[in-house]
Amino acid sequence: MEQKTNYGAESIQVLKGLDAPRRRPSMYIGDTGQRGLHHLVYEVLDNSIDESLAGYCTHIKVIVHQDGSITVEDNGRGIPVDIHPEEKKSALEVVMTILHAGGKFDKKSYQVSGGLHGVGISVVNALSKLLIVQVKRDGKIHQQAYARGIKTSEVEVIGETKETGTIVKFYPDEEIFPETEFKYDILVGRLKELAFLNKNLKIEILDERNSKTETFQYEGGIKSFVESLNLGRTALHPVIYFDTEKEKIQVEISMQYNNSYVEVTHSFVNMIHTIEGGTHEEGWRTALTRVVNDYIKKNKITDIKLTGEDAREGLTTVISVRVPEPQFEGQTKTKLGNSEVKGLVSSIVYDKLGTFFEENPSVAKLIVQKIVDAAKSREAARKARELTRRKSALESGSLPGKLADCQERDPSKSEIFIVEGDSAAGTAVGGRDRKNQAILPLWGKMLNVEKARIDKIFGNDKLQPLILSLGCGIGEEFNVDKLRYHKIVIMSDADTDGHHIATLLLTFFYRYMRPLIEKGYVYIAMPPLFKIKKGKDEIYVYNEAERDKVLDQIGRDGVAIQRYKGLGEMNAEQLWETTLDPERRYMKQITIDDAAVADQMFSILMGEEVGPRRDFIFEHANEVRNLDV
């Protein structure tokens, strides 16, 4: 039957004002989960940072209030409040209510600027149930209020002041965000990062919910950033640093080799973390490899042809470029696309690093020797990889014999549980749903990949079955599209050894298979700590507080409490009920909200240096409940 439709001009819907971000918030802030919620704060912060970049703001303060709101305050010039010549209303109202309005487009107010894509503060306004903005300038305090992007008052003078700056207080809208609670640790990660990137800028945070407060200010800027990232590792030399401006593009790079075998690179464009890299990273990588190869050739050190990966092994680098007209690939600016930046960065790095090598021959020799060792290790890894392939070809279906695989072949429907010890694995095999749940047992102490080169990882009898089971390869051959399971669940005991094994596995995934975490495929199972039995009723609880709460419901008379020291103490049915059954289990998804914080945490927890690890554990001992990377 023919369906009749009328599709004319009247069918075209025009979203006016701030309707678009309210209708499609994910287009503007990425998502409406925790990431998007905190992105609101970053958008307000970006305006303050732009004032700092322009030389007017020296102090930013963030306050998390008990009522769920948040305030961002700066001592910049303050958003203009005079009447806009075209819009015939206060410039403050224009900035707060019109998309793509701001002082960032004519390049007179700001030579470079951050922000998402010229829509920042107005989108925050649209997605807040209430927003109050105060501007201190021209001796007066101006104020205007909004509800879901619509003004509820005119711009009015509420007092006098000798200060300048902007104060934005907003309440995220529950109609947009399912969860509106700001996380202190997530905010601290970004604030600390911004303080590193803006030398001497003072950034404070106060959490009124628990009276936590911290201040970040770094005289060394990104030099201090690299030193912070290398905590827990042994640095091989002082930080190499240069800051140069060429063709209105400022290039600031800080780098330091350490005794680990892991490359850590964080790049930024106008304070925005370009997690996918881009032309600025490409220029730096090209020049680094060229400088090292030139040095080796000139000094006749070895005949081995080095690769870029060899040159970056054990190198921690922060790259910060400021570009007047950045072109970003993707909606949320994670990759720089400006082609001219690659050649510019490359020439600066080649010149500055080459000069550093000439002026510091002892450091250059130390660095080059480490790189040559990396090249030899890569060759050993290639042989180990071939051995791994030959071994796997002899095994049934190229999968390790210890793997109890599932019947499902669609990765999006398949789960693999990495279980500590044979007895717990046996119980898990008995309790699982064999249709879509695979079980892989691990036993004994795993390799700490933070202290091992890749050739050792290929040959390791604990990691080899895991690499083969996942099917996506490792190192140069890693391909996330070949992953056999889209839920990788670490299932270890809730004791010290269990937590250590879980941390070793997370370190391995983070360093060598990071896309698994980035795509949300890695989980930690949370088996219960107690079983409470009263009469015929059985209740599983996950911590002491929950246990005490249940006992205050049901009373303590005639109650039997069993504490599980390990997974092996459960029978197959209990393990299914508590840890394997998708309807009832509790699992923690591992996310990377802040790669720099995660990098630092892993290097401290798994690195060589005892002091920083001890300090970290003591500092966070009372906070740890569930580890969320």
- Active centre residues (catalytic): 420, 493, 495, 497
- Kindly give the pairing relationship between strand 530-534 and strand 559-563: antiparallel
**CB-based contact 25:176 (threshold 8 Å):** yes
Grouping H, G, I as helix, E, B as strand and the rest as coil, residue 612 is helix
CA dist., res. 66 & res. 208, Å (int)? 6
- Pair of tokens at residue 226: 């690299």
Q: How many residues does the chain have?
A: 629
- Pair of tokens at residue 200: 């001497």
Beta bridge partners of 441: 419
Beta bridge partners of 559: 534
CA dist., res. 456 & res. 454, Å (int)? 5
CA dist., res. 619 & res. 627, Å (int)? 15
Cα–Cα nearest to 470, from 448, 440, 500: 440
**CB-based contact 22:99 (threshold 8 Å):** no
CA dist., res. 306 & res. 115, Å (int)? 39
Residue type, 402: K
Residue type, 345: V
Grouping H, G, I as helix, E, B as strand and the rest as coil, residue 131 is strand
CA dist., res. 321 & res. 245, Å (int)? 9
Cα–Cα nearest to 176, from 289, 24, 15: 24
- Pair of tokens at residue 390: 């030959």
